[in-house]
Amino acid sequence: MDYKTYAVEDAPAGSKELLAAAKKNYGFVPNLLGTMAEAPSLLKAYMTLSGIFEESSFDAAERQVVLLAVSRENGCEYCVAAHTVIASMQKVPADVAASVRSGGPIGDRKLEALRAFAAAVVESRGRPSEAQAQAFLSAGYEKRQILEVVLGVGLKTLSNYTNHIAATQLDGAFAQAAWSRQVAAKA
pLDDT at position 50 = 98
Question: How would you class 38 by CB atoms within 10 Å of its CB: exposed for 0-12, middle for 13-18, buried for 19 or more?
Answer: middle
Using DSSP, how many helices (H) and how many strands (E) does the chain show? 10, 0
What is the rounded CA–CA span in Å between residue 101 and residue 80? 7
Nearest partner of 173 among 21, 26, 58, judged by Cα: 26
pLDDT at position 187 = 52
* Domain locations along the chain: 13-177
Phi, psi for 103 (deg, rounded to 5): 100, 15
Phi, psi for 178 (deg, rounded to 5): -50, 145
pLDDT in tens, 132-187: 999 999 999 999 999 999 999 999 999 999 999 999 999 999 999 999 987 655 55
What is the rounded CA–CA span in Å between residue 62 and residue 70? 12
End-to-end CA distance of the chain: 30
Name the stretches of the chain with pLDDT < 70: 183-187
**Domain over 13-177 is classified CATH 1.20.1290.10:** yes
For 113-151, give one letter per residue: b (16+ CB within 10 A) or e: bbbbbbbbbbeeeeebeeebbebbeebebeeebbebbeb
Q: What is the pTM of this model?
A: 0.95
pLDDT at position 68 = 98
What is the rounded CA–CA span in Å between residue 119 and residue 53? 17
| CB proximity list for 165: less than 8 A, separation 6 or greater | 1, 3
What is the rounded CA–CA span in Å between residue 31 and residue 29? 6
